[in-house]
Amino acid sequence: MQKTLIANARIVTEDGDGLWGWILLREGKIAAIGAADQPPPPEAETARRIDGAGGWVLPGFIDLHVHGGAGCDFLDANEKSLREITRFHAAHGTTGMLATSLTVEKSRLDAMLEAVHRFMASPMPYAQLLGVHMEGPFINPRHKGAQNPDHIVPPRPDWLDEWTSRYPGLIKIQTLAPELDGALEYIERLKHHGIVPACGHTDASYARMMTAADKGLRHAVHTFNAMRPYHHREPGTVGAVLTDDRIMAEIIADGRHVHPAGIRLLLRAKGIANVALVTDAISAAGMPDGEYTLGGLSVILRDGVARLRDSDHLAGSTLTMLDAFRYLVREVGVSVPDASRMASANPARQLGMDRLAGSLKPGKRADVLLLDASLGLLRVWIGGTEMDTLDQGHGNEF
């Protein structure tokens, strides 16, 4: 496999800084990283050399919550759609992702799990599917958001047992409402199977959230959206997420789902280490304005904003991780290294794969992005192989 040396760039290392220097990729992994005044190892003499031109080298983005893109949905449950979704998001810096479901019939959930299982069993040409995020169907109708109310059901341990028996290790996160009957026992069951229990589309009180966290709840889906809000006498779901360090909080940074001040509040309460950037992107991501479907519901995309037909309810997003990352830096005021941590290292840690990916360190998988100084994406490497899917130009070779 070809060796690649990227030099003359700011490397966002595992320590979180912007080291001015170089990075060497070899055989699908990061071989070495060094400062500009430190010569690369002799093997770099035979490497393909890329001039970073003063830009940024980041770990590839990992999206824990994404439903689709390029006109396709993971619930399509076919190889063509999975290829298109992973191709589209790879072109915007995502190198790993969780195929995320919706509240639909069990037969469609079964079909999606089977399709993702088959897809992951063969070499994946674009962004790597790391597993499945089951969003629903065990949610509260009061905060259903853009989930189909016709298919909301109470927690079903028998479904979980069937899924984990048939596809061990495939489901990585499951979202449910902790206040539902049987939810606390279900959370314990998720924990037993090594699945991260997440709260979302929930009306859980602060007290119920604390009990759920004691049982194993460790994740909050699209924080502030579709959950009981904060009140100073009943802190609710939001209050629990903001104050409990056991819970990692997702955030959709598109300027529509959460005000920039809300994101700053979240970061001050949780700290950079406990926030994960996600897209919640739907099939309309990357597509022109028009009508789309989401879990059987009609969605209208207008000026890049997706809403349920005849409603003001947002229906997921058309966001990419690259645009979310830029929004954090440009509009919220987050540093590039900190935004990178929320887009890569924190998601990897939540999935228990931070020893393999999510940051730039010798020995880790070579999922690497090269951005210019203005945060334009120039190149993407997944497992050391450069993608040819980018719409933008390339950096200079030297």
Of 73, 280, 323, 338, the catalytic one is 280
- Based on the fold, state whether residues 218 and 79 are members of the same structural domain: yes
pLDDT at residue 178 greater than cutoff 90? yes
- Based on the fold, state whether residues 198 and 146 are members of the same structural domain: yes
Over residues 93-109, mean pLDDT: 98
pLDDT tens per residue across span 336-380: 999 999 999 999 999 999 999 999 999 999 999 999 999 999 999
Report the interhelical angle of 183-192 vs 206-215 (nearest 10°): 30
pLDDT tens per residue across span 21-56: 999 999 999 999 999 999 999 999 999 999 999 999
Task: Go through the chain and tell me how many residues it has.
Answer: 398
- Based on the fold, state whether residues 106 and 75 are members of the same structural domain: yes
CA 354 to chain centre: 14
Kindly tell me the sign of the dihedral angle through the C-alpha atoms of 325, 300, 130, 226.
Answer: positive
For β-strands 368-371 and 56-59, DSSP reports them as antiparallel
pLDDT tens per residue across span 215-262: 999 999 999 999 999 999 999 999 999 999 999 999 999 999 999 999
pLDDT at residue 389 greater than cutoff 70? no
State the distance between the two ends of the chain, measured CA to CA, in whole angstroms.
Answer: 20
Distance CA 343, CA 364 (A): 17
Q: Using 50, 70 and 90 to split pLDDT, how confident is the model at 397?
A: very low
Amino acid at residue number 94: T
- Amino acid 338: pLDDT: 97
Domain count, the chain: 2
DSSP H or E run through 173: strand 171-176
pLDDT tens per residue across span 102-148: 999 999 999 999 999 999 999 999 999 999 999 999 999 999 999 99
- Amino acid 1: pLDDT: 60
pLDDT tens per residue across span 303-323: 999 999 988 899 999 999 999
Distance CA 239, CA 258 (A): 16
Distance CA 238, CA 254 (A): 19
- Based on the fold, state whether residues 259 and 177 are members of the same structural domain: yes
Distance CA 358, CA 355 (A): 8
pLDDT at residue 58 greater than cutoff 80? yes
CATH for 389: 2.30.40.10
- Amino acid 310: pLDDT: 87
In the residue annotation, 161 being an active-site residue is answered as no
- Amino acid 395: pLDDT: 38
- Phi and psi dihedrals of 384, rounded to 5? 85, -5
Q: Which residues of 240-277 are buried (b: 16+ CB within 10 A; e: fewer)?
A: bbbebeebbbbbbbbeebbeeeebebbbebbebebbbb
- Based on the fold, state whether residues 179 and 270 are members of the same structural domain: yes
- Based on the fold, state whether residues 346 and 365 are members of the same structural domain: no
What is the span of the domain harbouring residue 388?
4-59+358-397
Query: What mean pLDDT value characterizes the chain?
Result: 95
- Phi and psi dihedrals of 104, rounded to 5? -135, 180
- Based on the fold, state whether residues 321 and 372 are members of the same structural domain: no
CATH for 305: 3.20.20.140
pLDDT at residue 97 greater than cutoff 90? yes
- Based on the fold, state whether residues 339 and 205 are members of the same structural domain: yes
- Amino acid 173: pLDDT: 98
Distance CA 254, CA 316 (A): 11
- Amino acid 17: pLDDT: 83
- Based on the fold, state whether residues 187 and 307 are members of the same structural domain: yes
- Based on the fold, state whether residues 94 and 229 are members of the same structural domain: yes
Distance CA 218, CA 266 (A): 16
pLDDT at residue 393 greater than cutoff 70? no
Helix locations, 202-314, DSSP H: 206-215, 236-243, 260-270
Where is the domain boundary, 315, 332, 350? 350
- Based on the fold, state whether residues 51 and 74 are members of the same structural domain: no
Q: Which region among 9-18, 125-134, 180-189, 362-371 has the lowest average model confidence (pLDDT)?
A: 9-18
Amino acid at residue number 319: L
pLDDT at residue 62 greater than cutoff 70? yes
pLDDT at residue 398 greater than cutoff 70? no
- Amino acid 311: pLDDT: 87
- Amino acid 147: pLDDT: 95
pTM as predicted:
0.96
- Amino acid 312: pLDDT: 87
- Based on the fold, state whether residues 114 and 42 are members of the same structural domain: no
Percent of the chain whose pLDDT exceeds 70: 97
Rg (CA), the chain: 20
